[in-house]
């Protein structure tokens, strides 16, 4: 499989804004981020980690961390949301998403650092994921979350998502939204990546 170099990937970062106007950069995860990403998950509260992974965990097992940072199957991607804090790039959120061509849908999961929740970063990151979904030509974006995850449910409701039962698991609720816009009308890194090289989306993944 041909993969893109990480120096190529850096030009496909998105610049978002927190509610107070601070810059939030969304970029693909790189191998050099492994330790920082692990520390990010360790720094989350027990409840936030439970909500993100639908179960108790203190840190990412090595195999899961490898899934986050390694280039592999072309339908799975990982991004981190970073801010400059005291002059250092700091992870304040992350997301993973996967494209299913059979159903023309994107499945996602995300988390925001507890210290930065309530600053509009989650809403901005979710909107960015919708753009990335459109860049694949996806017709729907969805994610499953615990019914007790009030923060994610509130974020989805404010972002115009519908709610449905998750097949086979009563503890979860599915949040979903139809994608009705053309990808070129929602500029983001994934759209630029696809526009530059039609084959890029089938040769890049993390």
| DSSP SS3 for 16 | strand
Average pLDDT over residues 38-48: 96
Q: What share of the chain is helix, strand, coil (3-state, %, to 5)?
A: 35, 30, 35
CA distances to 27, 30, 60 from 10, rounded to whole Å, are 7, 10, 25
Task: Pick the more confident residue, 75 or 105.
Answer: 105
Q: Residue 94: what pLDDT?
A: 97
Is residue 54 scored above 80 in pLDDT? Answer: yes
Q: Residue 146: what pLDDT?
A: 97
**Percent of the chain having pLDDT more than 90?**
65
Task: Pick the more confident residue, 202 or 89.
Answer: 89
Confidence of residue 3 (pLDDT cuts 50, 70, 90): very low
Spatial strand order in the sheet of 172-178 = 14-17, 23-28, 76-85, 88-100, 105-112, 140-146, 172-178, 162-165
What mean pLDDT, rounded, does the chain reach? 86
**Percent of the chain having pLDDT more than 70?**
81
Average pLDDT over residues 134-149: 93
Report how far residue 89's alpha carbon sits from residue 111's, in angstroms, rounded to the nearest whole number: 17
Tokens of 184: 């070129």
Tens of pLDDT, residues 59-79? 999 988 988 887 545 578 899
Task: Pick the more confident residue, 128 or 185.
Answer: 128
Tokens of 40: 């990010």
Q: Residue 182: what pLDDT?
A: 65
C-alpha neighbours within 13 Å on the C-beta side of residue 167: 1
Is residue 137 scored above 90 in pLDDT? Answer: no
Tens of pLDDT, residues 144-202? 999 999 999 999 999 999 999 999 999 999 999 999 876 556 667 666 666 555 444 44
């Amino acid at each position: 499989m041909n993969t893109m170099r990480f120096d190529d990937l850096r030009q496909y970062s998105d610049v978002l804004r927190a509610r107070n106007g601070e810059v939030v950069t969304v970029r693909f995860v790189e191998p050099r981020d492994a330790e920082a990403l692990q520390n990010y998950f360790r720094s989350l509260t027990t409840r936030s980690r439970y909500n993100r992974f639908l179960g108790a965990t203190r840190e990412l097992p090595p195999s899961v961390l490898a899934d986050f940072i390694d280039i592999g199957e072309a339908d799975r991607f990982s991004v981190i949301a970073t801010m400059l804090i005291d002059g250092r790039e700091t992870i304040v959120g992350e997301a993973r998403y996967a494209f299913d061509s059979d159903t023309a849908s994107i499945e996602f999961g995300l988390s925001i650092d507890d210290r930065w929740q309530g600053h509009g970063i989650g809403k901005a990151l979710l909107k960015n994921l919708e753009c990335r979904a459109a860049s694949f030509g996806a017709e729907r974006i969805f994610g499953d979350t615990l019914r007790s995850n009030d923060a994610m449910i509130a974020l989805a409701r404010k972002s115009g998502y519908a709610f449905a039962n998750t097949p086979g698991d009563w503890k979860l609720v599915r949040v979903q939204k139809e994608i009705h816009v053309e990808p070129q009308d929602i500029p983001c890194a994934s759209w630029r990546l696809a526009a530059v090289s039609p084959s890029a989306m089938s040769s890049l993944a993390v």
